[in-house]
C-alpha cells in the first residue's frame, strides 16, 4: 500500500491524521476504558488501527467536514465488530458505540494526542503538601503492658 503524500491527508484541523487517544464507557464494567489509536483521515474516509483491553483492532469508516459527523467499525482481530457513530466539534470525536446483536451500547470520546483531555479529567492545579503538626502530650499514670495487667492483682 502506498503512503499518501501529506497534501492528500485531511487539512481540516478537527481531523488530524496520527496518534489519537481516548476511552469508551461500558455500563456493565464501570470506568473509562482507555484506547490508543493511529488514525488516517483522507477524502472523507477514516482508517487506522489501535488497541485497548479487549485487544488490537482495525478502524474503517467515514467522516464529514461539513457537519463533523463520523461513523466507523472497530474490528477486533479474531473477535467481534463494534459500530461507532459520533460527532467532532473541535474537541475530538464523541458519541455512541454499539454491538447490536448483543444489545450492548455505551459512550466514547477520542481526541488527537497532544490535545489536553477535553473531558477535563487532568490536573489543573497542584495541591499544597500537608503540614506535619506535633503536639506535646500530657504524661499520666503509666499503663502496665504484658500478662500481669489485671487491676485486682495489686
pTM, to two decimals = 0.72
152 pLDDT band, cuts 50/70/90, is: low
Q: What is the mean pLDDT of residues 72-82?
A: 96
Nearest to 41 by CA among 106, 110, 104, 100: 110
Contact assessment for residue 73 and residue 61, using Cβ atoms and an 8 Å cutoff: yes
| pLDDT value at 124 more than 50 | no
pLDDT higher at 6 or 97: 97
pLDDT of residue 147: 66
pLDDT of residue 26: 92
C-alpha span between 33 and 52 (Å, rounded): 7
pLDDT of residue 117: 72
Among the residue ranges 45-54, 82-91, 129-138, the one predicted with the least confidence is: 129-138
Q: Which CATH class is domain 6-112?
A: mainly beta
pLDDT higher at 75 or 147: 75
- Mean model confidence pLDDT for the chain: 85
Among the residue ranges 17-31, 48-62, 107-121, the one predicted with the least confidence is: 107-121
pLDDT of residue 116: 73
Contact assessment for residue 88 and residue 63, using Cβ atoms and an 8 Å cutoff: yes
Domain residue ranges of the chain, discontinuous segments joined by +? 6-112
Q: Which residues pair with 33 in a beta bridge?
A: 24
C-alpha span between 110 and 50 (Å, rounded): 12
Q: What is the mean pLDDT of residues 112-123?
A: 72
| pLDDT value at 114 more than 90 | no
Q: What is the mean pLDDT of residues 121-150?
A: 60
Amino acid at each position: 500500500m502506498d503512503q499518501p503524500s501529506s497534501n492528500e491527508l485531511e487539512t481540516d484541523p478537527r481531523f488530524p491524521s496520527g496518534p489519537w487517544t481516548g476511552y469508551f464507557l461500558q455500563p456493565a464494567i464501570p470506568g473509562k476504558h482507555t484506547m490508543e489509536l493511529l488514525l488516517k483521515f483522507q477524502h472523507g474516509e477514516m482508517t487506522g488501527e489501535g488497541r485497548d483491553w479487549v485487544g488490537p483492532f482495525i478502524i474503517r469508516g467515514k467522516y464529514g467536514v461539513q457537519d463533523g459527523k463520523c461513523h466507523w467499525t472497530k474490528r477486533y482481530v479474531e473477535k467481534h465488530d463494534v459500530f461507532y457513530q459520533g460527532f467532532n466539534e473541535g474537541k475530538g470525536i464523541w458519541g455512541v458505540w454499539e454491538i447490536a446483536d448483543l444489545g450492548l451500547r455505551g459512550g466514547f470520546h477520542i481526541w488527537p494526542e497532544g490535545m489536553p483531555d477535553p473531558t477535563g479529567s487532568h490536573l489543573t492545579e497542584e495541591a499544597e503538601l500537608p503540614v506535619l503538626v506535633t503536639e506535646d502530650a500530657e504524661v499520666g499514670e503509666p499503663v502496665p503492658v504484658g500478662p500481669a495487667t489485671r487491676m485486682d492483682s495489686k
